[in-house]
Amino acid sequence: MNWKFWRRSDADKCAETEDIPPDAGLCLFSDLQYDPDYVWQLTAFEPFYLKKCNGEQVRANLCEKCGACCAFFCVSFPEAETDEASGGVVPIAMTLPTKDSKRFMKGTKTKTHRCIALEGMVGSKVRCGIYENRPSACRNFMRSWENDIGNRLCDKARGAFGLQPFSQY
């Protein structure tokens, strides 16, 4: 896969929405512009890395070293998933209403697009503050390193932050 690195800008270029299935719950923002000199860090690591936990090595999720999708996409989901609805779990205080009985995660409709639930620094160490209660759009987002088939949306979000796409491993 030939990959280019992307930098956020005010230019309205290079966003391809045909990659996004209409039911994905994700909105690709078109504020990216190609910049070949913009690479914050390139790291190569296995789809799972090992870390020590209680004296033994355990496999850890690579998303804990990324977080690009949480700061790149607008996350929408059905209003029925909020904690105000019966059976819902997403904290409504972290969401904003939209039309068509949907909600957005706060922060994902702003200029920075960073989800309010994302904690840490993208590309370094991150975690979701509501991981167990995250919306279906987040639960169903396939990471590029899963199932060895890749995901262009995951890779595109990583590229926007100067991170090498997982699909190149």
- Give the pLDDT of residue 55: 58
Torsion on CA atoms 60, 123, 126, 97, rounded to nearest 10:
-120
Is there a contact between 76 and 104 (Cβ–Cβ < 8 Å)? yes
Containing domain of residue 132, as a range? 6-168
- Could you count the other beta carbons within 10 Å of the beta carbon of residue 119? 14
Q: pLDDT band at residue 62, thresholds of 50, 70 and 90?
A: confident
Task: In whole angstroms, give the CA distance from residue 80 to residue 89.
Answer: 9
Nearest to 70 by CA among 13, 154, 159: 154
Average pLDDT taken over every residue of the chain:
73
Q: pLDDT band at residue 119, thresholds of 50, 70 and 90?
A: very high
Indicate whether 48 belongs to any domain: yes
Indicate whether 1 belongs to any domain: no
Indicate whether 58 belongs to any domain: yes
Task: In whole angstroms, give the CA distance from residue 145 to residue 168.
Answer: 9
Total number of domains constituting the chain: 1
- Give the pLDDT of residue 16: 39
